[in-house]
Amino acid sequence: MVSFGSYPESTLAEAIEKTIEARRLIRTGIDPVEQRRADKEALRQAVANTFGAAAQAWYEFNLPNLKPATAEKARQYLDKDLLPSLRSRPISVITAPELCMVMAKIEARGALNVAKKTRQWLKSIFRFAMAKGWVVDNPAESLGAIAKAAPATINYAHIEQDELPALIAALDRCTGSTLVKGAIWLSLWSGNRPGITRTLRWSELDLDNALWTIEKDREGMKRGYAHLTPLPRQAVAMLRELHKLSGTFEYVFPGRNDPRTPMSNAAMSVALAKMGFKGRQTVHGFRHLVSTALNERGYQADWVERQLAHGDPDKIRGTYNKAVYLEPRRKMMQAWADYLDTLKQGGNVIPIRKRAG
């Protein structure tokens, strides 16, 4: 026996319609009572499986495979940008237009990189929910089609090669902080990113073997992998001198106000501005300068790219090419440092082209 509502909430016509539907189910071998229970359970599950619960399940499932910095960003973007408006919504009823409104709020505050990453995570959350059977489609799949375009990339300012002698001369004359001056020189000698250079720790240096080892996932490393930097003789000599100033601290270039912290982001930029290169040469621009100089002098692109800690542009080749080219890079960077010395001394400039063989 099955009842369909009660009078006056349900009309006779509605009861007859539901009776016909129940008889149809019986003819197809389906128990209408069990079907009703299944429908109620599906509704209960839909209400219970909120976006908040799905996002949390997705986060916990992926957490073991996320880098600490990535996990922190994912948690931050979930809590700040997605959960406030979507947390209690049944995930099965969320639509693409609803997600578009969420993304529009993020883009409205100019956080286009946050929006880009959030779109990726939304797609991943809904794929996870599809695999769990909580949703039947992915409303986040096409969000990129209406994404606000990012502004054109602005390259970091850097001088031309023929202006390098003037820069070296200005740096040699600079009477500012020895530590800041040393950080600029190390940026030029190594080609490493400014954030990596200013946060250099004494524990990363092996001066006897002229090596600077950057561990995997070290903060400041854009791609997250380990990196080995050969140090020219000039860098080793300077670092030994700096050890007399900052050797008792963790950082080679400690902060001016608090030596327990690394040098500030602005320290080297301010020094370059005082030297007359404001708007013409940035600290990050040293990487462009070094790359251009070494490539123009005929060194193998693999050596230069590895020195700059760039990923191999050929992803398949990059998977198997684990060589760090340490010895050829050591010779290359020593020749580069010697070349900079000639500029500092104002003598005849000898090209540092790689010798054949």
- Closest residue by Cα to residue 349 from 99, 50, 341: 341
Strand-pair partners of 300: none
Tokens standing for residue 149: 């375009």
Strands 211-214 and 205-206: antiparallel
DSSP three-state, residue 67 = coil
pLDDT for 318: 47
193 flagged as catalytic:
yes
320 flagged as catalytic:
yes
**Euclidean distance between CA atoms 286 and 101, whole angstroms:** 41
pLDDT for 339: 93
Q: Which residues of 85-105 are buried (b: 16+ CB within 10 A; e: fewer)?
A: ebeeebbbebeeeebbebbee
* Catalytic residue (choose from 119, 123, 181, 193): 193
CA distances from 306 to 230, 311, 330 (A): 11, 8, 12
Cβ atoms of residues 296 and 161 within 8 Å? yes
Tokens standing for residue 82: 């997605």
* Catalytic residue (choose from 18, 310, 330, 344): 310
* Catalytic residue (choose from 27, 173, 320, 322): 320
| Whole-prediction pTM | 0.57
DSSP 343: H
The distance of Cα 145 from the centroid of its chain, to the nearest Å, equals 23
* Catalytic residue (choose from 87, 284, 297, 354): 284
Cβ atoms of residues 262 and 220 within 8 Å? no
Cβ neighbors of 71 (< 8 A, separation 6 or more) are: 63
CA distances from 25 to 33, 41, 119, 133 (A): 10, 18, 42, 24
* Catalytic residue (choose from 222, 256, 317, 353): 222
Cβ neighbors of 269 (< 8 A, separation 6 or more) are: 282, 283
* Catalytic residue (choose from 181, 198, 287, 306): 287
Q: Which residues of 165-181 are buried (b: 16+ CB within 10 A; e: fewer)?
A: eebbebbeebeebebbb
Spell out the per-residue pLDDT of the chain, length 357, in tens: 666 556 566 566 666 676 677 677 567 767 666 666 765 555 555 545 899 999 999 999 999 998 887 888 899 899 999 999 999 999 999 999 999 999 999 999 888 888 999 999 999 999 999 999 899 999 999 999 988 887 665 567 788 888 889 989 898 888 889 999 999 999 999 999 888 999 999 999 999 999 999 887 677 666 556 788 999 999 999 999 999 999 999 999 999 889 999 999 899 999 989 989 888 888 888 898 899 999 998 999 889 988 988 764 444 344 445 557 889 999 999 999 999 999 887 744 445 555 443
